[in-house]
Amino acid sequence: MNIIIENATGKKNILTDQIMAVDLLNSAKTAVKMCAAALTESTTEEIRSLLKDQLKVAICAHENISKFMIEKCWYKPFDINEQLQLDMDNAKDALAIE
């Protein structure tokens, strides 16, 4: 996949596993939020049941992605200072991409 991005943009190493994992985690968070919001607006038991199942799946996906990122030291939710430093380093790297 990275070679496709490199060929399309002419830039090397702009799409890393870490970037994809962060994007996936953000998508999982959004799925949890959207399922929860839809659940509060549902009017029938059938829809509520379906949305509850989807919410459980979304929460499980978020948990799995979070654990993976923690293992890789890409996400440090239990140490705000380390996470902030990681975010700052990632922002500097992003700004360095031409």
* Mean of the per-residue pLDDT values of the chain: 88
pLDDT score, position 16: 84
pLDDT digits (tens, 9 = 90+) for 34-69: 999 999 999 999 999 999 999 999 999 999 999 999
* Angle made by CA atoms 39, 41, 44, in degrees to the nearest 5: 80
Buried b (16+ CB within 10 A) or exposed e, 19-47: eebbebbeebeebbeebeeebeeeeeeee
| Torsion region of 46: left, alpha or beta (phi above 0 gives left; psi -120 to 50 gives alpha) | alpha
pTM above 0.85, yes or no: no
pLDDT score, position 94: 78
Domain residue spans in the chain? 2-72
